Chain A
Amino acid sequence: MKLKIYFGASSPPLQSLNLKTGDWGTHFAVVDKEKCTGCKVCEQYCPEDCIEVKESGKEKYAVVNYYYCKGCGVCASVCNFGAIKMELKEFFR
């Protein structure tokens, strides 16, 4: 079978979803639902687009997509309410 290559080193959209970058990091972000106000600052700063504010009933808080979170810690440092902590993965302890 012939190898298929996309013309001019291009690519269809969303191919990178296949690359689960979640196991790259040493740390992962943990959200404290009590402290989180759902302000969405973390959402705007996340370079991987993998933290999202979700609503369930009256609650509104940030949820991390661990399939893609590389553990950079940007969300934790921009959070105005101290609601996000970076925890070292079990593997590295």
Chain B
Amino acid sequence: MLIEVRFHGRGGQGVVTAADILAVVGFKEGYYTLSFPMFGAEKRGTPVVSFLRIADEPIAERDEVYNPDYVVLLDPTVIETVNILAGIKNGGMVIANHPKKSDELKTELGAEKLNVKVTTINATKMAIEILGRPITNTAMVGAFAGATRLFKLETVVETVKEWFEDDKISEKNAKLAEKAYRYMMEVCR
């Protein structure tokens, strides 16, 4: 088993952190994991990419992910300039932070004819409600785990809590991840 994931967002939104948190979650659940940023320079505000591999044996592949099983979108505006579907596997899934409904986004991405599932969650709204800021990485960590059912909710919440030093921030982010997890569990039945 080797699951490959690509994360899209903008520099400063925690695209790399989202992949890193999930690498720790996967590790805690007994998988081999590997996450890494796009190779090269990164600047705040520009579209950026990070990657995650999850496997049940040591991971040898160290190239960037070109054929992801899952694509996670943290920032809805990225789709204007970046083709987030590039190389996605047949039967793959897009987990998107987007205000539109899943079907609408699938049409907008031009993916009607592809065997790709598109699921949306308004993570920006959830983040503003809970964190007071539009930072969506922890929400999308929860959304990924909930949509794929790869990881248990408890592990996600525990890892997100450990990630932040400030107790208040860690509590809020854990709450946000949990809400996104439960929402996706509901939607992706």
Number of A-B contacts (CB under 8 A): 17
For the complex, count residues of B whose C-beta is within 8 A of A: 6
User: B133 → chain A, closest Cβ, in Å?
Assistant: 9
CB of B189 closer than 8 Å to a CB of A: no
Give me the interface of A with B, judged by CB distance under 8 Å. 23-26, 89, 91-92
The residue on A at minimum CB distance from B11 is: A24
Which of A24, A91, A92 is the one whose CB lies under 8 Å from B43? A24
Does B12 touch A at the CB level, under 8 Å? yes
A–B complex contacts, Cβ < 8 Å, 17 sampled: A23-B45, A23-B46, A24-B43, A24-B44, A24-B45, A24-B46, A25-B44, A25-B45, A26-B12, A26-B44, A26-B45, A89-B45, A91-B10, A91-B45, A92-B12, A92-B44, A92-B45
Report the Cα distance A70→B46, complex, angstroms: 11
Q: How far is the CA of A48 from the CA of B10 in the complex (A)?
A: 23
**B45 contact set on A, CB distance < 8 A:** 23-26, 89, 91-92
Interface of A is mostly: loop
A25: chain B residues within 8 A (beta carbon): 44-45
Q: With A and B bound together, what is the CA distance between A26 and B46 in angstroms?
A: 10
Q: How far, in whole Å, are A92 and B45 apart by their CA atoms in the complex?
A: 8
Q: For B12, what are the chain A residues with a Cβ–Cβ distance below 8 Å? A: 26, 92
B44: A residues at CB distance < 8 A: 24-26, 92
CB distance from A71 to the nearest CB of B (A): 9
Contacts of A92 in B (CB 8 A): 12, 44-45
B-side contacts of A26, CB under 8 Å: 12, 44-45
User: Across the interface, which residues of B come within 8 angstroms of A91, CB to CB?
Assistant: 10, 45
Name the 3 nearest CB pairs between A and B, nearest first.
A24-B43, A26-B44, A23-B45
Which residue of chain A has its CB nearest to the CB of B77?
Answer: A91
For the complex formed, measure the closest distance between the CB of A67 and the CB atoms of chain B, giving whole angstroms. 14
Q: Which residue of B lies closest to A70 (CB)?
A: B43
Q: How far is the CA of A23 from the CA of B45 in the complex (A)?
A: 6
A26–B10 Cα distance when bound, in Å, is 12
A57: min CB distance to chain B, Å: 36
B47 — nearest CB in chain A belongs to which residue?
A23
A89 nearest in chain B by CB position: B45
Residues from chain B with Cβ under 8 Å of A89 in the complex: 45
Residues of chain A within 8 A (CB-CB) of B43 are: 24
Q: How far is the CA of A24 from the CA of B46 in the complex (A)?
A: 6
Separation of A23 and B44 alpha carbons in the complex (Å): 9
